[in-house]
């Protein structure tokens, strides 16, 4: 009897083939799923932070409508406080690396409230180096009451 070749034995042993294919493809599948998770977490966080900046500007505008002084101090404080509270409610507390900037500006003769939020993002898997390390949101809202 002629000795059986390695190739012939591997053809017969399909279980071993499946195990080898699984071992080779597992890292690729894990990388794909990890990347999907990282992207979805980033997009979700960006959406939340954009919404918080918009709502903070709306609160500042409502504060102005409520008769707050025209210096803008109460307006910017109301916007900043609203942003910090809303971030905490969304389970994104504003801690190290998080910045909330609020300004009451005049743009082309119109008074506007500007809210800017910068929040650090740390990828869960870290497989996509192209994702930014910071989520940014800027929102500008024109106020109804003009000085």
Q: How many CB atoms lie within 10 A of CB 115?
A: 27
DSSP 30-46: HHHHHHHHHHHHHHHHH
Of residues 9 and 136, more confidently modeled: 136
Of residues 33 and 147, more confidently modeled: 33
Query: Residue 90: pLDDT above 50?
Result: yes
Contacts of 8 (CB under 8 A, 6+ apart): none
How far apart (Å, rounded) are the C-alpha atoms in residues 44 and 125?
Answer: 16
Angstrom distances, CA of residue 141 to CA of 13, 25, 93, 100, 112: 68, 50, 24, 16, 5
pLDDT digits (tens, 9 = 90+) for 13-71: 666 778 888 899 999 999 899 889 989 999 999 999 999 999 998 888 777 655 555 55
Q: What is the mean pLDDT of the chain?
A: 82
pLDDT band at 1 (very low <50, low <70, confident <90, very high): very low
Q: Are 139 and 117 in contact (CB under 8 A)?
A: no
Give the global pTM: 0.73
User: Rounded to the nearest 5°, which phi and psi values hold at 137?
Assistant: -145, 130
39-43, 85-89, 107-111, 135-139 — which is least confidently predicted? 107-111
Q: What SS3 class is residue 68?
A: coil
């Amino acid at each position: 009897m002629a000795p059986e070749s390695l190739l012939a034995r591997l053809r017969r042993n399909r279980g071993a083939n499946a195990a080898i294919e699984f071992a080779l493809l597992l890292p690729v599948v894990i990388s794909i799923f990890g990347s999907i998770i990282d992207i979805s977490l980033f997009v979700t966080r960006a959406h939340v932070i954009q919404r918080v900046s918009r709502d903070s500007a709306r609160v500042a505008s409502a504060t102005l409508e409520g008769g707050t002084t025209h210096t803008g101090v109460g307006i910017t404080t109301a916007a900043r406080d609203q942003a910090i509270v809303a971030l905490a409610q969304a389970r994104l507390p504003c801690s190290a690396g998080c910045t909330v900037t609020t300004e009451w500006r005049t743009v082309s003769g119109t008074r506007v409230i500007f809210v800017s939020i910068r929040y650090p993002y740390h990828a869960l898997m870290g497989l996509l180096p192209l994702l930014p390390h910071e989520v940014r949101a800027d929102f500008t809202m024109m106020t109804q009451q003009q000085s």
